[in-house]
Amino acid sequence: MTDKKSSNVVWHQAVIDRRLREQQNGHKSVILWFTGLSGAGKSTLAHAVEERLHATNCRTFVLDGDNVRHGLCGDLGFSDADRQENIRRIGEVAKLFLEAGIISLTAFISPFRADRERVRSLVLHGDFIEVYCKCTLELCEQRDVKGLYKKARAGQIPVFTGISSPYEEPLNPELVVDTSTTLEQCVEQVMECLRQRGIL
């Protein structure tokens, strides 16, 4: 976590606030935090849920792990410290989307519990929904969509979650989705969670 270097800054309270934006949107805003191993289906599920939400006129945005490393987090590597900073930045961005009245869907391995809990602590209770995309390492390796596990096993990627770096499973996630089932079943689970929590 970076030290705050800004000084002599005062928070400006906007006239148009989250409540007014949510009223205009016709739904509440929330952070849907998809976490799990590489290949567990986080991005696939996040984008599929976004499609479903978009079809019902919800305002959404997916923050995808690979995509943000092309810009916002392009200066970070994969050391533990860089992974922590990566998640810190995304947490702050997701918080901004929350205030904008938008449903943000974040698809990040985010392997460390402490980092996920730090993001949770940025927002009010109920604004952060941790969605654990549960999938066995064996199945993730079978899928190996990006060929990363093969490279990690061959020693070409020195630090890789699930192989040479740990993944700390969520202890009390709001939702556990078994991504070995169909995508449609997984999407419906997330949608039902949103309905039950009064987001939609």
Torsion of CA 47, 52, 54, 58, to 10 degrees: -110
Quickly list H helices, the chain.
18-25, 42-55, 65-68, 80-99, 113-120, 137-143, 148-153, 183-196
3-state SS string for 61-87: EEEEHHHHCCCCCCCCCCCHHHHHHHH
Which one from 6, 110, 165, 180 is the annotated catalytic residue? Answer: 110
110 among known catalytic residues:
yes
Catalytic residues: 110
